[in-house]
Chain A
Amino acid sequence: MNLSNKEVRRAGKLIRLSQKEFLLLETLLKANGRVLSKAELAEKVWDMDFDTGTNSVEVYINFLRSKIDKPFDSKLIHTRSGFGYYLKEEQS
């Protein structure tokens, strides 16, 4: 993930992300594997108070999964039920 030119590559392949998707991935990456709750993500990415009834976090996590995980064999974005999301490279 190149923060200066806003480029994301996985296994050498360039992945096109929207501004929010990039920010979401950046936030997850900076958490270094720590589980981030929806409230944290909503605040950090969207600058929103949690519980505003928005589904943006789920929607964008899905979009990120489609773009980052789906074309590849291993998953990077994981869900910890009831807690939140974290980034971890699966050892296949």
Chain B
Amino acid sequence: MTLRQRSAIVIVTAVMLMLIAFSVLIYYLLVNNHRNQFHSILRDKAIQTVKLLDEVKEVDSTLLSIIDAQTLHELRDEKTLVLDSTGEIVYSSADDHRISWDKNLLKRIRQEGIVYFSEGEYETAGIFYSEGSITRFILVAAKDAGGKQLFRRWAGLLSISVVVILLIILLTSYFFAGRALEPLSILQRHILQSAAAPHAFTELKSELLHSKDEIASLANSYNELMRQLQQYDAQQKQFIRFASHELRTPLAVLMSQIELALMRDRTEEEYRELLYSLRQEHEKLAELIARLLLIFRSEQPLQKEKLSKFSVYELVEDCCAAIQQQYPSIRCTLQFIRPATDPDDYSMLGDEVLIKSAFDNLLSNAAKYGEGSPITVKLDLDEQRLSIEIINGGTLLSTQEAEQLFQPFFRAANKGKQPGSGLGLVLVEKVVLLHGGTIHYRVSEEKNSFLIQFPHGSASQ
């Protein structure tokens, strides 16, 4: 059963119960009102009869009987009986119907003043009348045939009304439930379509998102979920590209070390040294892979156990040495702007492996795209920031290129035949941001410059 049908049935059932209760109440009130009116007529007739009989001297029981017989009454098959205080009949109208009475009834009438009761088709009113020395019991009976007919008509009318109203309610509630639930149907159709096309994670674009009801809230939550899934999916895909890119550079270093060693025969000692060095590089590589997995898979902030205090200038020195080993013709120098006397001032808390991979990337870019020009790394320190600026003299990037530099897969026009995937700077930016830093490209003294700034001193607390 659909939600629409269920809503319509619930509404109709509720309305039906209310209508039936309401109709029964109306029927009861109408019947009661009619009975009261009929009893009132019986009572009036009784009083009128006794007054004629006892207060008008010219009217005796015979004359009254004649008047009764000749008068058109609104009461049908009416019979009147007047008794005195002892129970003797004083007057009896000339009708076929016989009113049955006994002393108990008279006693009750005397006690209560007026008594109404039904006897077959007849409604009877028993009235106790006392005026001066005259005491009378008047019993008036009549058929309420019109009333019975009226009751049947009312019952029929009310039943038909209930059925008609229920039908109208059923149709309108089905229609309006359909309209009210239309946004839900849109959402349902969209979800079914999305489920049929896996990895699409399409968001719902509909006007229903702008309303303020629960369905809009559900649709917005669904969209938020889709956005997260899209992001997650993109991260997964990007991770694979990142990983392959990140592994390429250290593998190239390993290869160059091996090739260098193979250029001529080496002593046993030299081979051992080479193997130790290769093992060390492999360990770093394994750690890098593990760290990359951690970052891109979980997107969690830096893990505390991976944090260590390390010296930035020592790290830059090592990276410079590595790049000079890879590109012997390119000079890489480190300059200190506003140098500190204590080397400890250049230490920072972070993930050394990740920071090193960021520096390696930037220096490798500077070597690849610097067209043989020397690489300068400027370290600057103030009370709040530790700045690392990596400068190369290659072709300057255009403003447009500079804007897209940190976009995944973007490669500037200076790429030439250099291998690359356009992901290195994306990773660099991610690592820097992860450490609370900033990175900008700028042109400094007509050279390409990447400026990284990390919070330092009190700012890094």
B343: chain A residues at CB < 8 Å are 62-63, 66-67
Contact B335 A18 (CB under 8 A): no
A18: chain B residues at CB < 8 Å are 311, 313-314, 317-318
Q: Which of A40-58 contact B (CB under 8 A)?
A: 46, 48, 54-56, 58
A59 close to chain B: CB less than 8 A = yes
Alpha-carbon distance A67/B342, docked complex (angstroms): 9
Closest to B346 in A: A63
Alpha-carbon distance A56/B339, docked complex (angstroms): 9
Q: Nearest chain B CB to A17's CB is how many angstroms away? A: 9
Closest to B314 in A: A18
Alpha-carbon distance A64/B300, docked complex (angstroms): 39
Contact A54 B333 (CB under 8 A): yes
A62-B341, A63-B343, A67-B343 are known contacts. Are A54 and B317 too (CB-CB below 8 A)?
no
B344: chain A residues at CB < 8 Å are 66
A19 close to chain B: CB less than 8 A = yes
A34 close to chain B: CB less than 8 A = no
B321 close to chain A: CB less than 8 A = yes
Contact B335 A66 (CB under 8 A): no
A46: chain B residues at CB < 8 Å are 333
Alpha-carbon distance A37/B10, docked complex (angstroms): 99
Contact check: which of B321, B336, B341 meets A19 at CB < 8 Å?
B321
A20 close to chain B: CB less than 8 A = yes
A62: chain B residues at CB < 8 Å are 339, 341, 343
Alpha-carbon distance A67/B336, docked complex (angstroms): 18
Alpha-carbon distance A67/B314, docked complex (angstroms): 13
Chain A interface extent, by class: 10 to 19
A63: chain B residues at CB < 8 Å are 343
B114: chain A residues at CB < 8 Å are none
Chain B interface extent, by class: 10 to 19
Alpha-carbon distance A54/B334, docked complex (angstroms): 9
Closest to A48 in B: B333
Alpha-carbon distance A11/B320, docked complex (angstroms): 31
A58: chain B residues at CB < 8 Å are 339
Q: Nearest chain B CB to A47's CB is how many angstroms away? A: 8
Closest to B321 in A: A19
B314: chain A residues at CB < 8 Å are 18-19
Q: Nearest chain A CB to B76's CB is how many angstroms away? A: 125
A56: chain B residues at CB < 8 Å are 333-336
Contact B342 A66 (CB under 8 A): yes
Alpha-carbon distance A54/B339, docked complex (angstroms): 12
Contact A54 B342 (CB under 8 A): no
Alpha-carbon distance A48/B341, docked complex (angstroms): 22
Closest to B315 in A: A18
Contact B339 A19 (CB under 8 A): no
Closest to A46 in B: B333
B311: chain A residues at CB < 8 Å are 18
Alpha-carbon distance A19/B315, docked complex (angstroms): 10
Q: Nearest chain A CB to B428's CB is how many angstroms away? A: 23
Contact A55 B333 (CB under 8 A): no
A48: chain B residues at CB < 8 Å are 333
Q: Nearest chain A CB to B159's CB is how many angstroms away? A: 100
Q: Which of B294-347 contact A (CB under 8 A)?
A: 311, 313-314, 317-318, 321, 333-336, 339, 341-344
Contact B333 A19 (CB under 8 A): no
Alpha-carbon distance A67/B343, docked complex (angstroms): 8
Contact A54 B335 (CB under 8 A): yes
Q: Nearest chain A CB to B147's CB is how many angstroms away? A: 115
Q: Nearest chain B CB to A67's CB is how many angstroms away? A: 7
Alpha-carbon distance A56/B335, docked complex (angstroms): 7
Contact A20 B333 (CB under 8 A): no
Q: Mark A1-44, 1 if CB is under 8 A from B, else 0.
A: 00000000000000000111000000000000000000000000
Contact B336 A59 (CB under 8 A): yes
Alpha-carbon distance A58/B339, docked complex (angstroms): 9
| 16 A-B pairs (CB sep. < 8 Å) | A18-B311, A18-B318, A19-B317, A19-B318, A19-B321, A46-B333, A48-B333, A54-B333, A55-B335, A56-B333, A56-B335, A58-B339, A59-B339, A62-B341, A62-B343, A66-B341
State the A residues within 8 Å of B (CB): 18-20, 46, 48, 54-56, 58-59, 62-63, 66-67
Q: Lowest 7 A-B CB distances belong to which pairs?
A: A18-B314, A63-B343, A59-B339, A59-B336, A62-B341, A18-B317, A19-B317
